[in-house]
Structure 1
C-alpha cells in the first residue's frame, strides 16, 4: 500500500496553530494528534470531519485547555498531519473506526468527553457507544449517526458524486462554502496545507461514499447496534447545532428525543454554517466547559452512571 506523508514544511507558520505535534502508530500508519492542557485533566476528544483536520478546532482547544481539560484533537487518517494512503480502497468506515480505537487504547483515555461534528460524529458516536465505559459525556455539533434506514437529501447525492468524480476538489473552498464568515488567505492556506497534490486527497474524496445511505450498507448493522447503546445513554448528551446548516438541520431534535441523556441539558443553537467551529468557536467551547463544570460540581452519582 502506497502511503503519502505531507511534508512538514507545508505546516510551517500556520495562523493560530501553535500546537506541538504528537503521533501514534495505528496499524502501521502514523496518526497525528494535538494534546493540550494538563495531563491529569479529564480528556476532551475533539473529532473533525470532512474535509477538515484538527486546525478546525484551533480556537476551541485553548479555551477548553484553559478550563483545566486535557484536549486531544487527532487528525483522521488521510487528513492533516496524519498519513494518507493513496489508494481510495484503503478507506472504509471500519478502518477509520479501527484507527481511532487504536488511538484510544494507546493513550489509555478514560472519563472522556466526546466533541464531534460531521464525520467526527459518524465515527465518534460509534466510538463512544462501543466504549461507553470510557466516556462521561457527549457534545455534538452538526453531526449524526446514520444507519441507512432514512432517506438522504438529493443534495447529498450531488455532493457524493462531486467528491468522487470531479477533477477539481478544492479543500479550502469547500470548507469556506460551509461557513458564514469568509476565511482569510492564511486560513485557506492552512486547510489546503495537508494536500500538496491530488493523490493526497484520496481519504477526503472517499468520505461521502462511506456514509450509509441504504439499509444493507456494510456499516449499517454496527451503527444500529451503536444506536441501541445510545438509546440507553443516560450520561450527559448535549447538542450545539448551528442555525445555518442545511445538511444536519433537525438532527439535534432527533437525538434529543431518542437519547435519554439529552433530557434537561442546556442545548444550544449557535450562529454559523456547517463548520460552526469557524463561526462560533468560543461559544461552542464555552458550552463544553459549562457542561463539564456542572458535572465536576455535581454530587457523586447525580450526573453520571
Structure 2
C-alpha cells in the first residue's frame, strides 16, 4: 500500500513589503482634522462640517463618532451653529450664504488651496480670465471656480483645451487643482501654452508639495516591486493618482479603503509589495494593512528613503491659532 503523500508547503504569497516615504497625512489634512477636533473640544457636539473634512472614510467616521455632522447644504445647519468648511475650500457664494445664516464659521481650507483662491481674485481684478486644470465635480475645483461668477474655464484633458473660448488671449492665466497627477497636468499645460503662448502661469506650481512628494516616491518604488497597494478612499483624488501612476509605470496597483479590501489573488506570483497612502489616509490604516500583509506571509517590512516633510500650517484664530499665515516652505523630493 502506497503511503499518502504529504502536500508540499505553499510558498508565501507575500514576502517583502516596501513602505513609501513620504506617505499619508499632509500638513493641510493634519490642520483640517485638528480644527474639527478642537472645535468639538471647545464648543461641544454637534459641530457641522460642509462636505467631508477630507476624503477618507476612516477619518470621517471617527469624527462622526466624536460629534461632527457632515452636510452638503447649509440649509441643513441650524441657526447659530458652528460650521467648518472642509479642506477642499468653498465658493464665494457658500461663504456669503454662511454669513447670511449667521453661523460661527471656521475655515479648514488647505492654505495651499487658499493661495490659489487669492491668486484668482487678485488677477481677476487686473482683468484676467482663467483656465483651470482639474476634475469636474471635485469640491476643490468647485470651490476655486466659485471664486468668480464668470471668466474661468475648466479643462480636464488636452482635447478640452482646444474648445476653450476666451475674450483676450493676452489676459489669460492658468490655475491647477492641487491634487492632480504631476505628469498629466504637465501634458495639459503644454497644450495650453501651445494654444495660448502668452498665458500667465503661477510663480510656483499649484500642485501641492505633498502630492508631488508622494508621486515622486511612487516613481522610485514601483520599479522595485511586483504590485503596489495604495491606502486611500475612492473619493480621494491624490490617492487615485498614485494608483494610476504606478500602473502607468508598469506595476499592477490597487487602492484599499481598509485592510479588509485586500485580495489574496493580487499577490499570486507577486511577492514584493509596495505600500503607500494618500495624503488623507491615516497611518493607523497603513499599520493595519501591514498586519494583514504579514498574515499573507510578509517576512520583512522596510522603509524606502525619501524626503522628510516639516511643513506646518497655523490654526484659525479662536481655535488656538493667530489667524495669521506664515511663509509656506516648499518641500519636494528628487525622483
TM-score under structure 1 length normalisation: 0.31
Higher CA-based Rg: 2
Say which structure, 1 or 2, has more relative contact order (CA 8 Å, 6+ apart).
Answer: 2
